[in-house]
Amino acid sequence: MEDIIIHSATIVNADRTSPNQFIWIRGGAIRRTGSMDLLKQNVPEEIRLRAVMVDGSRGFFIPGMIDMHIHGVQGADAMDGTAEALETMARVLPAEGTTAFLPTTITQKSENITRALEKMAEYRAAAPENGTAEIAGAHVEGPFFEPSKAGAQPAEFIVKASVDLFERWRQASGNAVRIVSLAPEHDPGFALTAHLQRIGVTASAAHSNASKALVDEAVKKGLSHVTHLYNGMSGLHHREPGIAAAALLNPALTVEIIADGVHSHPDMVQLAYQAAGANRLCVITDSLRAKNLPDGVYDLGGQQVTVAGDKPYLPDGTIAGSMLAMDKGFRNIQAFTGCSREEAVRMTSLNAAHEIGIAERKGSIEAGKDADIVWMDESEHVQKVWCRGRLAATAEQKGGVQP
């Protein structure tokens, strides 16, 4: 079993920055961390002599980022329903600092969603333990939406929320669904929302025209999350506070934000940070298969999406997903809000780990957790990434380290 010791490192977790540290990695997990003064005391000499030693004195180390809302990257999409697409996502994403993610479905025919979730279950069962980003479950975005707020969700496949339909998908996924995005006003009696809470799945408000009052009522039934704040929802209005206001004001809600400067003006990202705080915000990408590829025309759920620069859009001009990478989101959230580096770690890793139920093994660099570690230089660009203890990406290998 290979031992890796990163020494002389600065570790940035959500609660503190610790300089001059070591990180002892063994068997895909972090065995121990601590001050360099305690290295000899905490790591036996025979292990130090044979371990791979990594000089971490330049830059800093953060826990692997967790993207809880991503459709695709580099030509692959979760809705392709193939092992190849999922493997591409898992191999490529570490280059942007992502070590765990939720492949996200889109509003489509029920059988298409079923096939995509079945393939995720198969992939998770057969996937290698290390060396690629982990598929930590699935995010089902739709089809339980309000048609007038469909955005890039194909409106012809929208249906009312159904516990029975969701349960068929949950079974198809191998019980791996972690988030369901839905319009609260189309969940009769909040039946699905309450069901999701009972079984430990996050219910998230999305593509909805609900009032703040209705959202607050849904929170009492189990709603706990808001999908891509400001986008696809009733917005801020001084006489009719909608979902956006509920997201900012209700302390029971965690809130996704696409910090790309396209989906939301940087000032609106700052407003979210000042109102909700770093403890409730989760940076996500909502990225498409076109990410990492040249400008052009691509498919999203059977729709034509044109990508020009950082903006993907439908033929009618509707914005459709993003080109954002998580490492850029990490830099942007600091630039837009003035938050600390520690808070950026919280919003790109720890909050998501808690929200999708994996915080016992991800979201921070500490003993006993998965060795999901991102090494950044002082300009906050990714230098190396370890996924469960195995080198998965370097600055020179943007497509991911080949197994």
- Backbone dihedral region of 332: left (phi > 0), alpha (psi from -120 to 50 degrees) or beta? alpha
16 annotated as a binding-site residue: no
**Which DSSP string corresponds to 88-129?**
HHHHHGGGGTEEEEEEB--S--HHHHHHHHHHHHHHHHHS-S
48 annotated as a binding-site residue: no
Amino acid at 94: P
Which of the following is catalytic: 286, 327, 370, 372? 286
141 annotated as a binding-site residue: yes
Asked whether 113 and 301 are in contact (CB, 8 A), the reply is no
CA distances 278 to 101, 187, 215, 330, 341, Å, are: 20, 29, 21, 13, 11
The backbone torsions φ and ψ at residue 41, rounded to the nearest 5 degrees and listed phi first, read -70, -30
* Catalytic site includes residue 260: no
Q: CA-to-CA distance for 50 and 52, rounded, in angstroms?
A: 7
58 annotated as a binding-site residue: no
Asked whether 224 and 252 are in contact (CB, 8 A), the reply is yes
**DSSP tag of 309:** T
319 annotated as a binding-site residue: yes
195 annotated as a binding-site residue: no
Q: CA-to-CA distance for 8 and 12, rounded, in angstroms?
A: 13
The backbone torsions φ and ψ at residue 140, rounded to the nearest 5 degrees and listed phi first, read -95, 105
321 annotated as a binding-site residue: yes
207 annotated as a binding-site residue: yes
381 annotated as a binding-site residue: no
**88 CB burial (10 A radius; 0-12, 13-18, 19+):** buried
What is the token pair recorded at 98? 């992502």
Q: Which residues contact 4 (CB under 8 A, 6 or more apart)?
A: 24, 25, 26, 51, 52, 54, 371, 386, 389
Map residue 277 onto helix, strand or coil: coil
Amino acid at 115: R
Q: Cis bond leading into 147, ω under 30°?
A: no
Which residues define the annotated binding site for Zn(2+)?
141, 207, 228
| Residues with a known catalytic role | 286
Going by the annotation, the residues of the binding site are 141, 152, 207, 228, 231-232, 239, 263, 319-321
Binding-site residues for substrate, in ranges, read: 152, 231-232, 239, 263, 319-321
